[in-house]
Amino acid sequence: MKLEVVSNSVMETRSFASKFARKMKNGTVIALIGGLGSGKTTFTQGFAEGLGINQHIGSPTFKLVSEYLGIKYKLYHADCYRLKNFNDFLNFGGENLLIPIDGVTIIEWADIIKEILPEHTIIINFDRAKENLNHRVLKIQNYNELK
């Protein structure tokens, strides 16, 4: 099943992500794909709020992975922007993020490691709306994994 969501603002993206997070099951992997400034980190911030995480969520570009403790689950937030390919991801132990036994994993720039993403990964593509560059279109694949 696919779902398409149009967000008209940063707050709408965060609100949608917060509600989306409340539907997550332990062990879920979410792949975020989109260009710079397309809303991936904003989505992750809202998602963290939905898991009951009150810490500041920034992009883990330089440290590659951040871990946060939520009310029900941990959130593992990875960023593949600085990686060349999936081997770089595996070299720092990234395979553990693909089978999170005690939480949910969100991976920004996941297209870089697409060859090794688990079959049931929820994939979210972020695009700027053509008619208004401040709006975002989120195309969600494998949404049925939440049901």
Examine the pLDDT at 124 and tell me if it is beyond 50: yes
**In the predicted model, is pLDDT for residue 46 greater than 90?**
yes
pLDDT over threshold 50, residue 147:
no
Please tell me the distance from the alpha carbon of residue 124 to that of residue 26, in angstroms, as a whole number.
18
Would the pLDDT of 146 be above 60? no
pLDDT at 134 exceeding the cut of 90: no
Residues 99-121 have a mean pLDDT of 95
Q: By mean pLDDT, which of 2-16, 28-42, 78-92, 125-139 is the weakest?
A: 125-139
Q: What's the first-to-final CA gap in the chain, in angstroms?
A: 11
Structure tokens at 62: 């330089």
Q: Give the global pTM.
A: 0.92
